[in-house]
Amino acid sequence: MRLTVLAVGSMRGCAEGTLTEDYVHRAVQMGRNMAFPAVSVEEVAVSRARDAAARMAEEADKLSARIPPGAHIVLLDARGKGMTSEDFAEMLGALRDAGTKELCFVIGGPDGLAPLPGKRSGRSLAFGPQTWPHLLVRAMLAEQVYRAMTILAGHPYHRA
C-alpha cells in the first residue's frame, strides 16, 4: 500500500521539514519489506486569496486534484478522532491487508481544511484536541507512520 501525505504549504528549510523527511526516510526503509512500497509527502501551494474561506476552498480544490485515484483518504483535523499509536498501526495494517492500494493523508493549511470537492474521506484523525501548526502535524504524522510500521514489524522502537 502506497502512503501519501498531501499537505498545503512548503516545508523546505524549516526544522519541521527536516524532521518530517527523517521519519519519512525511516518509514520508507522499514516499509519496503512490509508491503508499504512507498511513503511520500506532496505539497500544494498556500492560497493567496484575501479571506480565509476562499483560501481554504482554493486549497481544497488543489488537494482534491492531487489525491491518487481510488485512494482511501484520511483527513487530519482537530475535530477528528484521536487514536493510540497501536490503533493507528492496526488501521494501517488492516487497510494494507484488505488490499488498499493507496492511502492518502490530507493536511490543510494555516486556516484549516475545507471539504474536498468530489472526494469522500474514510475517516478524520486528530492529534488531540489542541490546534497544531500544520507543519508540525506533518512531522507528527510521519513519526506515527514510522512508529506504526515498527509496531507491525515487532521492532523495539515503540516501547509503550
Contact 124, 80 (CB under 8 A): yes
pLDDT of residue 129: 85
pLDDT of residue 131: 84
Contact 73, 104 (CB under 8 A): yes
Indicate if the pLDDT at residue 2 is higher than 70: yes
pLDDT tens-digit series, residues 47-63? 999 999 999 999 999 99
pLDDT tens-digit series, residues 98-157? 999 999 999 999 899 999 999 988 899 999 888 888 899 999 999 999 999 999 999 999
pLDDT of residue 160: 66
Is the residue at 140 inside a domain?
yes
pLDDT of residue 121: 87
Is the residue at 47 inside a domain?
yes
Is the residue at 4 inside a domain?
no
Is the residue at 159 inside a domain?
no
Question: pTM of this prediction?
Answer: 0.94
**Cα–Cα distances in angstroms (integers) from residue 116 to residues 29, 41, 58, in the given order:** 31, 18, 10
Kindly report the number of other CB atoms within 10 A of residue 150's CB atom. Answer: 19
User: What is the count of structural domains for the chain?
Assistant: 1
Domain of residue 22, CATH code: 3.40.1280.10
Structural domain including 40 reads 10-153
Average pLDDT, the chain: 94
> CA-CA distance, 62 to 81, in Å (whole number)?
25
Is the residue at 102 inside a domain?
yes
